[in-house]
Amino acid sequence: MSGVEDEKTPKEIQTGVTSVSFEQSCFDKDWILQLNQPEQIDNFICLICKKVANNPIEISCPQHKDMDASPVVGEHCLKQFLNINPNSCPVQSHDGCIYAQTKIVQRCIDALKVVCPLQFQQDSQVSSQGEQQRGGENERVMCNFKGKIKDLNDHFNNVCPLKSFGCLYKPFGCEHNCPKRQLQNHLCSEVIFHFDLAVKVVGALQEEIKQLKLQIQLNKKNKDEIVELKEKELVEKDNETKRVQRESQQELLKLRADIEITKKDFVEKEKHYNESIKILQEKNEKLTQDIQKLSNKEERKDDDSLFSSNFKPSFPFALFSSSSKLLKTLSGHTSRVFSIDYSTLDGQFICSGSEDKTVRIWDAETAKQIQLFDKHQYVVYCVKFSPYHYHNHRRNVICSSANKKTIRFWDFKKNEQLQIVNGHNNSVTCIKFSPVNSGRYLCSGARDKTIRLWDIETSKSLHVFNGHEDSIWCVDISPLQSNNNNKSNSIGVIGGNGYTICSGSKDKTIRIWDIETTKQLDVFKGHTDF
């Protein structure tokens, strides 16, 4: 449905016996027909007021599409109708009226020739009043405009001699309007009336000034009273503050005297306590020496008894202990190391994961760092060398899990990340490769309380084991069955041959799971803490 434009500011023009708005209301037909024939305006008649439509709107509802021509209404008339009858139609009684401005009809109406509407009004008034009230023809102001409707605004604003002007004493209350040439006569004939208006306004202004002065005096008096009251309150507060200060100083002096007495008493008691402690320490020292002497006697007895027997230890611990010494220290991590793994695939390597968010590779022979991976954004909890990548692709790969729900695989010879496995909803705390299929399957435990089994070749999760009530700290897979070929086992065969997963959790339990059925087989309870 098309909308009608907002109403414009009205400009009152007399176009008949009554006053109408040239920019709003429709045009008087008698005024239009002075210079036009009836057949020229038949298609421009407003359906509502039956005058010539001003700002024509075309009604195009489908309910009356069979009419010979689309009805036309004036914009102002349509707005008044819709205010009284919302969402209805002025042609027929139905809802959802469809309307829009018609520029073609607007151009035709704008092109109609007319006389000055003020002159038409004046002529109509003279005609209705008769010859006795007309006055002399020479005294009348005449406008000879004959032009198109679209030119009327320019005519009214610039050249029309009938345009009304307000009296110069309008600010004092005179409401008289007349053409400019008659304004001087009005001023001369109404001098006394204008003087009385001016006197009345001046008197009102003087009375207003008098009232304002009284109000100012009253405000000043109230202000002085408030200031006096505030000053009195300030003096009282100042006196109260000084009194509190004097009392506080006296109380402070008393407290200082009490502190001095207490300090003196404390010093005396401390001296007495120190003397008592010294005496007790001396006694304790003497008792300790006596006890030590007794103990030494007992030890000598035991040693004599031991050497007298021919007992010989079955384990050569002296030989083992002689080789228990620090061989190498691997330094590089900047925070705690949570996990290490040892590999002898293509040489002796050690990998480590740390709280510093890095995975590092070390040469076990030289104790030197040979590689570093730092793409983890959080703590690295667990690291393992991947047997699957080594046996199947001859690549040196490390698997690591971190505090960001991810498991990553790194080729430390080529210094690149191979793959990322996602699925857990919280930190992955532990991982373990399967003993079958050269480590193709990976088991992981996480803080999301679940254990997952992954196919490394496809990077897909095969099983999810649910049952723990808190974070998983460690997982392990049962050893390779002796009656199976390591290289031919599938995950179905693992379950069928009794392969299981063991897990330990913060819920203080150890649980056993069947890999094929994902069912929990046993729960071991007894730990009192994680």
pLDDT in tens, 156-202: 888 888 877 788 888 888 888 877 777 888 888 888 888 888 888 88
Instruction: Give DSSP secondary structure letters for 383-415.
Output: EEE-HHHHHHH---EEEEEETTSEEEEEETTTT
Q: Which two tokens stand for residue 64?
A: 């009356």
Mean pLDDT to the nearest integer, 387-409: 88
Residue 19 has pLDDT above 70, yes or no: no
pLDDT score, position 309:
37
Angle at 458 between CA 453 and CA 462, to 5 degrees: 25
Residue 74 and residue 50: Cα distance in Å, rounded?
10
Mean pLDDT (the chain, rounded): 82
Count of residues in the chain: 530
Percentage of the chain modeled with pLDDT above 70: 83
Question: Given this structure, which CATH class describes domain 12-156?
Answer: alpha beta
pLDDT score, position 79:
92
Mean pLDDT to the nearest integer, 122-133: 68
- 329-378 pLDDT, tens digit per residue, is 888 999 999 999 988 666 688 999 998 999 999 988 888 999 998 888 88
Q: Number of C-alpha atoms within 13 angstroms, CB side, residue 157? A: 5
pLDDT score, position 353:
93
Residue 396 has pLDDT above 50, yes or no: yes
Residue 142 has pLDDT above 70, yes or no: yes
What is the domain partition of the chain in residue ranges?
12-156, 337-525
Q: Is the pTM of this model over 0.85?
A: no
Residue 494 has pLDDT above 70, yes or no: no
Q: Which two tokens stand for residue 391?
A: 């046996």
- 294-332 pLDDT, tens digit per residue, is 755 654 454 344 334 333 333 344 444 445 678 888 889
- Cβ atoms within 10 Å of 301's Cβ, excluding its own: 10
pLDDT score, position 56:
92
CATH number of 337-525: 2.130.10.10
Percentage of the chain modeled with pLDDT above 90: 33
State the DSSP H helix or E strand holding residue 420, giving kind and residue range, or none if neither. strand 416-422
- 214-244 pLDDT, tens digit per residue, is 999 999 989 999 999 999 999 999 999 999 9
Residue 430 and residue 402: Cα distance in Å, rounded?
9
Residues with Cβ within 8 Å of 58's Cβ and at least 6 positions away in sequence, in order, are: 70, 71, 72, 99, 100, 101, 102, 105
Q: Is 16 within 8 Å of 28 (Cβ atoms)?
A: yes
